[in-house]
Amino acid sequence: MEKRRLGRSNLEVSAIGLGCMGLSFAYGQPVEKQRGIALIRAAVDRGVTFFDTAEVYGPFTNEALVGEALAPVRDRVAIATKFGFAIDEDGKQRRGLNSRPEHIKDVAEACLKRLRTDRIDLFYQHRVDPEVSIEDVAGAVRDLIREGKVKHFGLSEAGVQTIRRAHAVQPVTALQNEYSLWWREPEREVFPVIQELGIGFVPYSPLGRGFLTGAIDESTKFDSTDFRSALPRFSPEMRKSNQALVDLIGQIASRKGITRAQIALAWVLAQKPWIVPIPGTTKLHRLEENVGAADVRLSADDLREIEHALANVAVQGARYPEHLQKLVGR
């Protein structure tokens, strides 16, 4: 698979990474451990070198899974994980945000153990903590970088002023935000700033949490443990309203002889050379489908057709309920 460099850093990774969250958290019941390990190793075999996890996924269990899966190939891959939540030691309760410098350093030590490694390639602040100055956060990660425990600093869902302030203390290698054919908000304010500063962009949910693949429609029933059941955009009414977008993507994909998922990922890749999407999956055939998108080349005519189609579809529904929306863009 082709490689991409995240911004002006020296962090070079596969053009498509693997978001590992769904193996343990958020989208229904966790997969059986050996199945999860097999899927992650299958991704490595297919050229994926960039793996995304976080302490809060589980909590803790996803990092442990990723660490065990990647231990035999550690020097061939880059692992990104995240800090920023207050989690009980038993991992059963998440209690708000915590990005105090001493907590960041404690989390780093725990992450290293769970990941079975001596360094974290990319350490993101998961959500901006209004109780802690971003300068203090960046300073704590800078200390970890100087100690060799962390290689690169990242932010997730941060606003542009936070990005600038953090970058002034410790250069930010990557920003992770939701971004896809049905959520393009980062293009307005975030893209110009990160391009100016030389920061890479890592879109999560580039397949619209599965909706853009065509595998979900208004009749789909979500398990009570599935995060999507709480998202306004995934109510049956909103799914019905947004089906027009999936249908348009399907028409274009059919003409090109590829899948909706491959169109959606190829479109993301075509937007900027410093974008590395991290679609997640629990299924081998979906992994292979996603990885195949790295070989799809959309022409200027293809991109214009997609842009024209998008202009005629108004996506309905908020991406987060209000209490979670408050945590993004700060």
Tokens at 37, concatenated: 């390990």
**Do residues 50 and 81 make contact, with C-beta atoms less than 8 angstroms apart?**
no
Q: Report the alpha-carbon distance of residue 296 to residue 310 in Å, rounded.
A: 20
Q: Is 124 labeled as catalytic in the residue annotation?
A: no
List the catalytic residue out of 57, 124, 179, 204: 57
Give the contacts of 281 (CB within 8 A, at least 6 positions apart).
Answer: 18, 22, 39, 287, 290
Just list the catalytic residues: 57
